[in-house]
Amino acid sequence: MKNKTVIITGAASGIGKSTAQLFAKEGANVVVSDINEADGNQVVKEIIEKGGKAAFFKTDVSKPEEMKALVDFTLKTYGQLDVAVNNAGVGGEINPVGDMSIEGWNNIIAINLNSLFYGMKYQIQAMLKNGSGSIVNISSILGAVGFAGSAGYTAAKHGVVGLTQTAALEYSAQKIRVNAVGPGFIETPLLDALDADMKKQLVALHPIGRLGKSEEVAEIIFWLASDKASFVTGSYYPVDGGYLAR
């Protein structure tokens, strides 16, 4: 990964932050993207203090013009784009389908699904100029199964898997690989709003007996992005402590 350039959305915290730190440690130029400017700049500062290379670009991933601007910034700053990790997402409104608000539905689809289309649209255009590239989209275990109360999130994450597979078919011949990762419940800020009892219930859903760590998800993202996964495209990799095996 030395001297390759990677965009990571939602990189100010959680899985995105751990992924940014890992890529930087392995020598990549990292573009840290997030809507949270203060935390995003802090991630960049920490990377640079450890000898890595990084730059921050504030992005609202739900807006196509901002996703295009992110790619343009990356090309202007580092000259090319080799890897993109489309990680930004929100948990969104929790309600049964019949009670879910239209606004809640539209918000989560915009951030968790539309943003990946916007991102890939412009990322692929940049990678085609290189003659190669790797995209890793962050789905979820809920990209494979349902979860009561999370209609918008589940629909979006299923959509991420389908979008990933389709792009992989379309661009494999041009040496652009596209894969998806499906984390189980991970100890990230997305779970901060849950009380201790709810977290205990979530732990019980994972046969391994605990929630995951963002660093564990970062490792498979890094592998998929690297040349070690050169024959892997169109795949969906759960990182879920056995959740989907139940």
Q: Which residues are catalytic?
A: 153
Provide the pairing of β-strand 133-138 with 236-239.
unpaired
3-state SS track over the chain: CCCCEEEEECCCCHHHHHHHHHHHHCCCEEEEEECCHHHHHHHHHHHHHCCCEEEEEECCCCCHHHHHHHHHHHHHHHCCCCEEEECCCCCCCCECHHHCCHHHHHHHHHHHHHHHHHHHHHHHHHHHHHCCEEEEEECCHHHCCCCCCEHHHHHHHHHHHHHHHHHHHHHHHHCEEEEEEEECCECCHHHCCCCHHHHHHHHHCCCCCCCECHHHHHHHHHHHHCHHHCCCCCCEEEECCCHHHC
Angle at 162 between CA 68 and CA 60, to 5 degrees: 30
Give per-residue burial for 111-125: e unless 16+ CB within 10 Å, then b. Answer: bbbbbbebbbebbbe
